[in-house]
A and B are shown apart, each in its own frame.
Chain A
């Protein structure tokens, strides 16, 4: 159980375009979803925390107008990278938190590799 999917798994786009990444919890309802980015050989950097039905909380230094997060339901959150540039190329990973657990365990999606040309 506790499976999280991401779509697409890989996307290549031209500079200036917008890219939407979906994160779905397939077999449970997630009260909280997290968005991370990971550069090669580096750890996960938390970008934002989103709770269903409310605005996302962004980490310091993350542009909320550039990285739009929507958490419309308990099973779906989307991250839209607006006007993407080559420096936005990265591995984006979402996780979903199963509420009611001892420590609100996070289940991670398989990640989306974004390449901006």
Chain B
């Protein structure tokens, strides 16, 4: 079983839709949860970071962590064509030192 599972998609939505991206994980020791956005042929850029359980909002983006279910989500409101990218979840913990565990990434296309 992989440490982090993420549906690769692809996911295609119309402009303005609410997008829900999800990851599940197996190791309950993970404490830090990140979402990265990666445009084609570019390096990942950090979108959201959450420590432990709870919600975090930043503009049109909301990250949720449910540690009891080992489930994290990223919601994108009022999606825009510029949101079209691959979204990677990542997680870490003190036991892992600096190492991040990545999901496979979900490819999102927002259609104008």
A residues adjacent to B (C-beta < 8 A): 4, 6, 32, 34, 41-44, 46, 49, 91, 93, 95, 97, 102-111, 113
Contact = CB atoms under 8 A, between A and B. Distances in A.
B102 A49 contact: no
Nearest to B36: A108
A44 B24 CA distance: 17
Interface size class of B (residues with CB under 8 A): 20 to 34
17 contacts: A34-B99, A42-B104, A43-B88, A43-B105, A49-B99, A91-B41, A97-B98, A102-B32, A102-B51, A103-B31, A103-B49, A105-B49, A108-B45, A109-B43, A110-B43, A111-B42, A113-B41
Given A103-B32, A103-B92, A105-B49, A44 B98 contact: no
Judged by DSSP, the binding face of B is: loop
B43 A108 contact: yes
A42 B88 CA distance: 10
A107 to B, nearest CB: 8
A4 B43 CA distance: 10
Contacts of B45: 108
B83 to A, nearest CB: 18
B18 interface: no
